[in-house]
Amino acid sequence: MMPDVVFYTAEVMVNGLMAGVLYALVALGFVLIFKASGIFNYAQGVLALFAAMTLVGIQNGQVPFAHLVNAVFGTKVHHFGWTVPSLAAIALTALVMVGLAIAVERLVLRHLVNQEPIILFMATIGLAYFLEGLGDVMWGAEVKRLDVGLPQGMSGLIDEVTFNWFGYGFFIDRLDIAATAVAVALVVTLTLFSQYSKQGRALRAVADDHQAALSVGISLRFIWVLTWSIAGFVALVAGIMWGQKSGVQFSLSLIALKALPVLMLGGFTSIPGAIVGGLIIGMGEKLFEFFVGPMIGGATENWFAYVLALIFLVFRPQGLFGEKIIERV
């Protein structure tokens, strides 16, 4: 008979992996935009929040800008009086994210071509706070419940099967399993898209060299809209998972903070890096909390990821899969 601690550890690891999938998803959004345009998109977390708010709003048939409309016209509209099925609402929200991508390109990026990266970074900070405000004005600032019908709660099947096999029932949330499945599907789709489609090829070209990309007939503006749309869609998926778990509220935008150590670990330009980095951070964080947390008073999940990333950074500044950069002199 295996000691219980082995099972505990395995269970904690599996749960950590599932949390890691979400971190990876958010980090992926950062990597996509960074690769295509060299912009560190501070707004990625708010993008997830905005997407989740919009999804809930559309699902519930909320009137956008209701407060504003009522204040200006003296009306009392709040709801259209219908609800939209989950899948249709997700599709509509995806369209809104594409619209947002177009607006960002038109109103911001286009005017900042060839600016220093720090200027673009500042622009995304501005964008983050603008979007946060826009989300509140459009859909209201209260905490919202998000439910797109994903399974939730302990998986009885896994509990039973593992109990029969090992004499120890694993506790795994069905939402985590669903999230993992969706994230895997998303990553596979993105990889196929980038490897085999015309737009994907163009995207890789732009990520590699702007000048060369222009010379083979690629429109940078189109590629920016495309990457921001994809990043918006990835944010939507992350927003759905996180929102269903802990409700749609401001703190959802803070998942971006979880993605930072993942990026430090995986590198800013590597898609596999974001995925593996996410899994390592997710798992490491849970294991550390489980084994070391009790000795030092717990709540290690807030900082452990950063410390891990920092230590890693000192030894491998180029990230997990990055090539070692040797300065030419």
Partner 1 sequence: MRDTTAEGYVTADGRRIGGVLMEMRNITLRFGGVKAITDISFDIREGEIRAIIGPNGAGKSSMLNVISGFYVPQEGEVWFRGQRRPPMKPYQVARMGIARTFQNIALFEGMSVLDNVMTGRLTHVRSGILDQAIWWGRAEREEDEHRAKVERIIDFLEIQHIRKTPVARLPYGLKKRVELARALAAEPRLLLLDEPMAGMNVEEKEDMCRFILDVNDEFGTTICLIEHDMGVVMDLSDRVVVMDYGKKIGDGPPDEVRRSKAVIDAYLGVSHD
Separation CA 306–CA 267 (nearest Å): 14
Separation CA 259–CA 91 (nearest Å): 25
**Size of interface with partner 1, in residues (CB under 8 A):** 21
Residue 201 sits in the site that holds partner 1 (CB under 8 A)? yes
Separation CA 320–CA 317 (nearest Å): 9
Residue 226 CB, shortest distance to partner 1, in Å, is 9
Q: Tokens for 286?
A: 């849970």
Residue 95 CB, shortest distance to partner 1, in Å, is 15
Residue 268 sits in the site that holds partner 1 (CB under 8 A)? no
For residues 86 and 269, which CB has a smaller minimum distance to partner 1 in the complex? 269
Residue 291 CB, shortest distance to partner 1, in Å, is 40
Tell whether the torsion through CA atoms of 45, 281, 207 and 209 is positive or negative: positive
Give yes or no for a contact between 275 and 303, defined as CB atoms under 8 angstroms apart. Answer: no
Among 115, 197, 246, 251, contact with partner 1 (rule: CB under 8 A) = 197
For 62, list phi and psi in degrees, rounded to 5.
-70, 145
For residues 296 and 325, which CB has a smaller minimum distance to partner 1 in the complex? 325
Residue 318 sits in the site that holds partner 1 (CB under 8 A)? no
Q: Angle CA(283)–CA(286)–CA(292) in degrees, nearest 5?
A: 125
| Total residue count of the chain as it appears in this document | 329
- Site string (20-59) toward partner 1, x via CB under 8 A: ----------------------------------------
For residues 225 and 283, which CB has a smaller minimum distance to partner 1 in the complex? 225
For residues 210 and 286, which CB has a smaller minimum distance to partner 1 in the complex? 210
DSSP string, 36-64: HH----TTHHHHHHHHHHHHHHHHTTBPT
For residues 38 and 64, which CB has a smaller minimum distance to partner 1 in the complex? 38
- Name which of residues 177 to 196 contact partner 1 (CB under 8 A): 193, 196
- Name which of residues 202 to 221 contact partner 1 (CB under 8 A): 202, 204-205, 208-209, 211-220
Give yes or no for a contact between 17 and 282, defined as CB atoms under 8 angstroms apart. Answer: yes
Q: How would you label 225-249 residue by residue, b for 16+ Cβ within 10 Å and e otherwise?
A: bbbbbbbbbbbbbbbbbbbbbeebe
For residues 2 and 214, which CB has a smaller minimum distance to partner 1 in the complex? 214
Interface residues with partner 1 (CB under 8 A) are 193, 196-199, 201-202, 204-205, 208-209, 211-220
